[in-house]
Chains A and B, each alone.
Chain A
């Protein structure tokens, strides 16, 4: 039987693999964490100062999910409306772990930027952008490249080749005609160029109120060599220093055997630490939080909403959810998800509904693991 027939659900809500379709990315439970992010983003939309926020929690506590959720166009539009300003420009990347962190950082950000779309959007404001670029900084070369970024006369593919450092002699001749006379130097130019582009994107808040750069897996800085860890730090510091306004950076940090929050000082430089404005903790969920989370998630996947006489936790019950939560003992949200996800999957294959205590007890070891 299908999920709808058995459980009044469109599919298994407790999946571990993240949804690809943005419409399927929903926020369930944990209202305080949601509010914290919302107010942080709204503050960034309204207040110009750039800031850095740490998101701290165990594996599977929902940090990456938070990034996906707050990167959704609909969510950002809503937050912008509430803050009575323009939408933020959102960028999500994973901390580069290669041998060349600055190049990798730059490339992963450039990869996410839709240059033609931005050029089209800023077409009516070209003059303003040009005077704005002239008004900031003293590096004429970087200013020229930043202007080229918005200049539709330079073909997009050629400009991308330039940003990736893969131009040929003919390309270089064309670029010289636009005043670009040398290649970009990763150590000195990448952070400055990104900073000036970010500043342009939020110029006069014409189209975007702020840039949100969300970096996932930042704890991997602990497994980089010291040289690459230092390079990552100075790149981020330079990016923040050169973008004094309208940049909000979120760093997702996972507690692990290799990385503890107490060791943060070993991996993040003083200069960067002083920029941290807030820390959002993803604590181990409590029973009441799990109940709210489960009911919210089940509601989002109902085939038919408010079905007559249906319990909020159906096909489970609140007592069963409490029982699973207590037997998992201080488990992460992912563990809880896995247990409910497997239980519902087994029930589907056995055509068992509702999922009661007896069914759970029979399958307990499969669901929460074997204790020997």
Chain B
């Protein structure tokens, strides 16, 4: 039987792009990525542009020369993604249909990416790999991808593996380096939070506030057991009632960029697994 040629198109979500912008060194990854067929929607570019610098505002990064040069470098690299924004935006005509089919009402980067994926699959006859590290989004849209035969939903780890496999000059040492940088992207925030929450002292006027105490203890418990999804839920609870939880909000909001990525424990385990696998 003759092989069937399938045209594959990668669609990138903001969290995956942000990861690549943060971990890339000397434009190595960006150059490999440029050789691939990939696009993103305008909304994803806007979200990337808005959030990619948040990490550098955190308490553990001093605004030293090194950070300033990193910011400058990221700004330049953003241009590589700007030129891959998919135009024209005719596919927006399918918005209501896809919203109904996916039972999703938010017009965020993930949804518009799914919309674009659907359009390219249906009208351009392309097989789509949508790369996102947003676990809830992946879980929500995967059945739609399968039922409509759009393609698959992968994450940054899979994208790194894809680039590794398709480039002879991408060595296993490079791969290990990028896996470890990706792991560090997330654990850096967890490490910082662990310290801050551990050292946090409940202010005298809040000792008798039951909800405050329960929330503080739940955050600590999630951190101790590395239950990231529960931690993310606590974060949104604190944000929603920020006046009530002000001292906790002041700590958690410094790590906003981490919470917004919505990763899971399995994701961290997956990075570790692949790192160990390459090492062996």
Residues of A with Cβ closer than 8 Å to B?
15-17, 59-60, 97-100, 217, 220, 222-227, 229, 256-258, 334, 338, 342, 345-346, 349, 365-366, 369-370, 372
Interchain Cβ contacts within 8 Å, total number: 76
Whether A369 contacts B184 by the Cβ 8 Å rule is no
Q: Which residues of B lie under 8 Å from residue A256 when comparing CB positions?
A: 194, 224
Whether A59 contacts B208 by the Cβ 8 Å rule is no
Asked whether any CB of chain A lies closer than 8 Å to the CB of B148, the reply is no
Whether B199 contacts A16 by the Cβ 8 Å rule is yes
CB interface residues, B 212-234, toward A, < 8 Å: 213-214, 217, 223-226
Asked whether any CB of chain A lies closer than 8 Å to the CB of B262, the reply is no
Q: Which residues of A lie under 8 Å from residue B225 when comparing CB positions?
A: 257
CA distance A43 to B194 in the complex (A): 35
Q: Which residues of B lie under 8 Å from residue A346 when comparing CB positions?
A: 207-208
Whether A345 contacts B214 by the Cβ 8 Å rule is no
CA distance A342 to B200 in the complex (A): 13
Whether A100 contacts B224 by the Cβ 8 Å rule is no
Q: Which residues of B lie under 8 Å from residue A97 when comparing CB positions?
A: 60, 188, 191
Q: Which residues of A lie under 8 Å from residue B208 when comparing CB positions?
A: 346, 366
Chain B's closest residue to A59 (CB) is B198
Asked whether any CB of chain A lies closer than 8 Å to the CB of B166, the reply is no
Whether B191 contacts A370 by the Cβ 8 Å rule is no
Q: Which residues of A lie under 8 Å from residue B202 when comparing CB positions?
A: 338, 342
Q: Do A16 and B190 form a contact, CB below 8 Å, given A227-B177, A227-B180?
A: no
CA distance A99 to B188 in the complex (A): 12
Q: Do A223 and B184 form a contact, CB below 8 Å, given A60-B198, A345-B204, A369-B213?
A: yes
Q: Which residues of B lie under 8 Å from residue A223 when comparing CB positions?
A: 184, 187-188, 190-191
Asked whether any CB of chain A lies closer than 8 Å to the CB of B106, the reply is no
Q: Do A222 and B187 form a contact, CB below 8 Å, given A342-B202, A366-B207?
A: yes
Question: What are 21 of the A-B contact pairs (CB < 8 Å)?
Answer: A15-B201, A16-B199, A97-B60, A99-B66, A222-B187, A223-B184, A223-B187, A223-B190, A225-B181, A226-B176, A256-B224, A257-B190, A258-B194, A342-B202, A345-B204, A346-B207, A366-B210, A366-B213, A369-B213, A370-B217, A372-B214
Chain B's closest residue to A64 (CB) is B199
Whether B213 contacts A226 by the Cβ 8 Å rule is no
Chain B's closest residue to A217 (CB) is B195
Pick from B61, B184, B190: contact of A225, CB under 8 Å: B184
Q: Which residues of B lie under 8 Å from residue A99 when comparing CB positions?
A: 66, 70
CA distance A227 to B182 in the complex (A): 12
State the Cβ distance, B103 to closest chain A Cβ, in Å: 32
Q: CB-CB contacts of B156-184 with A at 8 A, as 1s and 0s? A: 00000000000000000000110011001
Chain B's closest residue to A219 (CB) is B191
Pick from A15, A59, A98, A224: contact of B194, CB under 8 Å: A59
CA distance A60 to B204 in the complex (A): 20
CA distance A17 to B190 in the complex (A): 21
Known pairs A225-B177, A257-B225, A369-B213. 16 more at Cβ < 8 A?
A97-B188, A98-B66, A99-B70, A225-B184, A226-B176, A226-B177, A226-B180, A227-B177, A229-B180, A257-B190, A257-B224, A258-B187, A366-B210, A370-B210, A370-B213, A370-B214
Residues of B with Cβ closer than 8 Å to A?
60-62, 64, 66, 70, 176-177, 180-181, 184, 187-188, 190-191, 194-195, 198-199, 201-202, 204, 207-208, 210, 213-214, 217, 223-226
Whether A16 contacts B201 by the Cβ 8 Å rule is yes
Q: Which residues of B lie under 8 Å from residue A349 when comparing CB positions?
A: 204
Q: Which residues of B lie under 8 Å from residue A229 when comparing CB positions?
A: 180
Chain A's closest residue to B214 (CB) is A370
CA distance A20 to B274 in the complex (A): 45
Q: Which residues of A lie under 8 Å from residue B188 when comparing CB positions?
A: 97, 223
Chain A's closest residue to B70 (CB) is A99
Chain A's closest residue to B222 (CB) is A257
CA distance A372 to B226 in the complex (A): 21
State the Cβ distance, B230 to closest chain A Cβ, in Å: 12
State the Cβ distance, B29 to closest chain A Cβ, in Å: 14
State the Cβ distance, A143 to closest chain B Cβ, in Å: 30
Whether A17 contacts B66 by the Cβ 8 Å rule is no
CA distance A349 to B208 in the complex (A): 12
Q: Which residues of B lie under 8 Å from residue A225 when comparing CB positions?
A: 177, 180-181, 184
Q: Which residues of B lie under 8 Å from residue A372 when comparing CB positions?
A: 214
Q: Which residues of B lie under 8 Å from residue A338 when comparing CB positions?
A: 201-202
The 9 closest A-B CB pairs, nearest first, are: A257-B226, A226-B180, A223-B187, A223-B191, A16-B201, A59-B198, A225-B184, A225-B181, A225-B180
Q: Do A342 and B198 form a contact, CB below 8 Å, given A220-B191, A369-B213?
A: no
State the Cβ distance, B85 to closest chain A Cβ, in Å: 30
State the Cβ distance, A250 to closest chain B Cβ, in Å: 19
CA distance A247 to B224 in the complex (A): 34
CA distance A140 to B197 in the complex (A): 49
CA distance A259 to B244 in the complex (A): 33
CA distance A267 to B79 in the complex (A): 37
